[in-house]
Amino acid sequence: MERSIKITKDGPYIVRGGIPVHEKVIVLRDGVRSWEDGRELPQSDSYALCRCGRSSEAPFCDGHSHKRFRGEETADRRPYRERAELLEGPGIDMTDDLRCSLSRFCHRRDGSAWDLLPRSDDPEARNEVIRAACECPSGRIVAIDKDGRIHEDLLEPSIYIVQDPGKDVSGGIYVMGGVPLESEDGEMYETRNRYVLCRCGASKNKPFCDARHVPGKYKDTRGGSILGKRR
Ligand code: FES
């Protein structure tokens, strides 16, 4: 079966095609963010991920907790290049569509990608802009060489269920490797290498995460979240 994610009306995401799913934890060491393994999750060819934030089996749908959930998709469906703003630096350019999941991989040791861009004539700063862009789960920023070459890591199709102990919250669903995403109405979203889906149910930019899980203090503790074990 082809890899895909289908959004169901006021219900879960149906994931098909045996896409590996892992719980991953954002960790910060010596000013550098990375991913650490979380709980082991069961793998299967097809599964349903919660998008209402209420499942007792999180990150999976429990089949009933979304009964009163209204999950209307409100995100702009235009392709990234039409939505994103071009920001120019001396050594590299960057595009930014403001679609942020607050994972903070763009916060580098010596400043954010936006701080580093004006200094990108320095090879180290330029490289950090590239790393910030390539590691941004939501695909908000993209680093582009002056000759138009886009920097993008080759990512295997997979899904990370994000936990963020630094903010004491559970994060969204990080989808990587160009997994096609189908709307509830059958329309396809632009296929991207990196995007983050909302699973707390609170995003105002559904189906994508807009970081509202942070002020909303979303924790998937009913599913036995790793956050509970780390406190
Ligand atoms: S998971 Fe980030 S806004 Fe819902």
Q: What is the pLDDT of residues 31-85, one digit of tens each?
A: 899 999 999 999 999 999 999 999 999 999 999 999 999 999 999 999 999 999 9
* Residue finishing a domain among 114, 130, 151: 151
Distance between first and last Cα of the chain: 40
- Among the residues of 135-176, which ranges form H helices? none
The verdict on 45 and 107 lying in the same domain is: no
Tell me, yes or no, whether 225 lies in a domain: yes
Rounded CA-CA distance 219/199 in Å is: 10
Q: Is residue 120 part of a domain?
A: yes
Q: Is 80 exposed, middle or buried (0-12, 13-18, 19+ CB in 10 A)?
A: middle
Rg (CA), the chain: 17
Q: Mention every residue, 6+ apart, whose C-beta is less than 8 A from residue 151.
A: 130, 133, 134, 142, 143, 144, 145
221 in the same domain as 170: yes
The pLDDT assigned to 221 comes to 77
Same domain, 67 and 90: no
Q: Ligand 1 pocket, 162 CB below 6 A?
A: no
Q: Is residue 15 part of a domain?
A: yes
Dist. CA 91 → ligand 1 center (Å)? 34
Which structure tokens are listed for 83? 């939505």
> What is the domain count for the chain?
2
For 134, the enclosing helix (H) or strand (E) is helix 123-134
Tell me the per-residue pLDDT of 181-222, one tens digit each, with 9 for 90 and over. Answer: 999 999 999 999 999 999 999 999 999 999 999 999 999 976
Return the pLDDT at 1: 82
What single string gives the DSSP state of each residue in 84-97? PEEEE-SS-EEEE-
Are 124 and 168 in a shared domain?
Answer: no
Where among 120, 151, 182 does a domain terminate? 151
Do 69 and 88 fall within a single domain?
no
Mutate to test the pocket of ligand 1, among 213, 217, 220 (most ligand atoms within 8 A of CB): 213
**Whole-prediction pTM value?**
0.96
Is residue 100 lining ligand 1, measured as CB closer than 6 Å?
Answer: no
* Band of residue 230 on the pLDDT scale cut at 50, 70, 90: low
Q: Which of 128, 129, 125 lies closest to 143, judged by CA? A: 129
pLDDT value of residue 231: 41
Range of the domain at 86: 80-151
Tell whether 30 is covered by a domain: no
The residue whose CB lies within 8 Å of the most ligand 1 atoms, and thus the one to mutate among 26, 198, 204, is 198
Q: Does 98 share its domain with 47? A: no
Contact 210 CB / ligand 1 (< 6 Å): yes
Q: Identify the domain boundary among 109, 128, 151.
A: 151
Domain-located, residue 192: yes
What is the 79 CA–ligand 1 centroid distance (Å)?
21
Domain presence at residue 31: no
* Within-domain flag for 32: no
Q: Are residues 56 and 100 in the same domain?
A: no
50 and 146 part of one domain: no
Residue 146 lies in a domain: yes
Establish whether residue 199 lines the binding site of ligand 1, counting it when its CB lies within 6 angstroms of any ligand atom. yes
